[in-house]
Amino acid sequence: MRTNIAAAAGSALAAATTSASGQAGGAPIGTVPSGKYKISAGVQIPRRELGRTGERVSIVGLGGYHLGFPTEQESIHLVRMALDHGLNFLDNCWDYNGGESERRMGKALRDGYRQKAFLMTKLDGRTAASTRQQLEQSMRRLRVDVVDLVQIHEVIRPDDPERCFASGGTIEALIAARKAGKVRFIGFTGHKDPDIHRHMLDVARQQGFRFDSVQMPINVLDAHYRSFERIVIPVALQDGTAVLGMKPMGAGLILESGAASADECLRYAMSVPGITVTITGCDGQGVLEQAMSIASNFQPMSMAERENLLARTADAAQDGKWEKFKTTHQFDGTVQNVRWLTSAKL
């Protein structure tokens, strides 16, 4: 049952004046004038199978972090506009903008919009207790009695897999939540090192557990450096685990580097074989229209187009200098806020 339930009003937004550097969502990705990309009333976003879940989700997903940048009413409008056009995959996280991203999304999902959405949020807890508490907080903010997909956030440390699967760890709480009907599917995310992702999948297999999804950076620079595309996707697909791409523009840094345009970034990410959905942050209507236009008219890149783009971006990709989420702690919210791993205090 995917109903919207009452919740207390959220606190006033402080995120508009807060630096984005401390969170995995990244900075605003730039201004695109509304109307530059024409979206007619009947446009619907194509969908793909979400691994072995039996669900079909839009090939582009709406990132939750960037909902903290516009006004509350604008962010609610963005969510509903996306859902009206069949962009049904909604991303969020317990810690985004101090919980404000979830509160805003919860308001957007009223008035029947919950039924249009495939709702995902992420949790930071590495203990069963903190995971349970964070999940309850997220559900209250989102105003739901069930979350379609909950993912373990920021699997970025070599020992994160062991911590998650330990007795009294994250997985224990998520399995219990699934049995209780609060969670339908379970996945994990991370942006640091593909070897850690692969280890997480290996540990899961050893424990007789299969993730429903795995989220990772997929973009034109990733293909060259510590590549999730090359190292993780083949392993995930072997298990029937849905692959969710994020940071198609490298949290805006690829655009800053000049290595590729936004259109090229999105189309490349959507074209990677094995990808189900490409999650992108939209901080304004023009940016959302851009994503929907590219998705609704999507044609996979040809091999020649792909090779040409990768050749052009090779220099920018060296040493991960523009993928700072891989090479610095700038985007590691759970490093800057270690308490999030063991408590539900933001």
More reliable by pLDDT, 14 or 166: 166
Tell whether the model's pLDDT for residue 19 goes beyond 50: no
Could you read off the pLDDT of 40-75 as tens digits, one per residue? 999 999 999 999 999 999 999 999 999 999 999 999
Percent of the chain with pLDDT over 70: 91
CA distance 336 to 95: 12
Amino acid symbol at 99: G
Could you read off the pLDDT of 267-294 as tens digits, one per residue? 999 999 999 999 999 999 999 999 999 9
Tell whether the model's pLDDT for residue 103 goes beyond 60: yes
DSSP 240-278: TPEEEEE-TTTTTHHHHHTSS-HHHHHHHHHHSTTEEEE
Q: What is the mean pLDDT of residues 297-313?
A: 96
Tell whether the model's pLDDT for residue 151 goes beyond 90: yes
Q: What is the mean pLDDT of residues 202-215?
A: 98
40-341: which CATH number, 3.40.720.10, 3.20.20.100, 3.40.50.150, 3.40.50.10470?
3.20.20.100
Helix (H) or strand (E) holding 48: strand 47-49
Average pLDDT, the chain: 92
Tell whether the model's pLDDT for residue 20 goes beyond 50: no
3-class SS string, 61-125? EEECHHHHCCCHHHHHHHHHHHHHCCCCEECCCCCHHHHHHHHHHHHHCCCCHHHHCEEEEEECC
Q: What is the mean pLDDT of residues 2-20?
A: 36
Tell whether the model's pLDDT for residue 13 goes beyond 70: no
3-class SS string, 9-28? CCCCCCHHHCCHHHCCCCCC
Tell whether the model's pLDDT for residue 16 goes beyond 60: no
CA distance 28 to 20: 8
Tell whether the model's pLDDT for residue 12 goes beyond 70: no
Tell whether the model's pLDDT for residue 18 goes beyond 60: no
Q: What is the mean pLDDT of residues 146-150?
A: 98
- The predicted pLDDT at position 26 comes to 53
pLDDT category at 31 given cuts 50, 70, 90 is confident
Tell whether the model's pLDDT for residue 29 goes beyond 70: no
* Helix, strand, or coil (residue 1): coil
Tell whether the model's pLDDT for residue 332 goes beyond 60: yes
